Amino acid sequence: MRNYLGRMVLLVRDYEIASQFYEENFGFQVLFDQTTKDGQRFLHLGDKENNFGIWFLKAEGKEQEQLVGNQTGGQPALVINTSNIQELYKNMKSNEVKIKQELESTPEYTFFHCFDNEGNELVVTELQG
């Protein structure tokens, strides 16, 4: 038996804006995009190599709208690993992504915290060795 992660669900206000943020800043690709007959859209973005990704769901109603950008109660929503944190950090700064915590290094990893277009806190990390 093999168990593995598939998708992390994030509520969004606008599919296209959310998709554009993750495509432009992280190079994620559309893994799945389908709209049902009743109009519900299933949009998944991520890394095609390992098929793990983010499943965007449009917030419906006042309660869900209030959760957009705060599904985790002020804690980070995602940890995104990279193989070149310096280049990614530079690109995100030039794209005017809001940085919460600047680059920091330990013997085990280098990381920074930022926010996506909806206000979700992301931890970006590069593991050493």
Mean pLDDT of residues grouped by 10 in the chain (129 residues)?
A: 89 98 97 95 93 94 96 96 97 98 97 98 94
Per the listing, tokens 């869900």 go with: 64
Give the per-residue pLDDT at 3. 81
Give the per-residue pLDDT at 31. 96
Give the per-residue pLDDT at 99. 98
Three-state DSSP state, 107: coil
Give the per-residue pLDDT at 81. 96
Strands (E), 36-98: 41-46, 53-58, 78-81
Please check whether the domain covering 7-127 is classified as CATH 3.10.180.10: yes
Give the per-residue pLDDT at 4. 82
Q: Which residues, listed in sequence order, are joined to residue 55 by a DSSP beta bridge?
A: 9, 44
Q: Which residues, listed in sequence order, are joined to residue 115 by a DSSP beta bridge?
A: 121
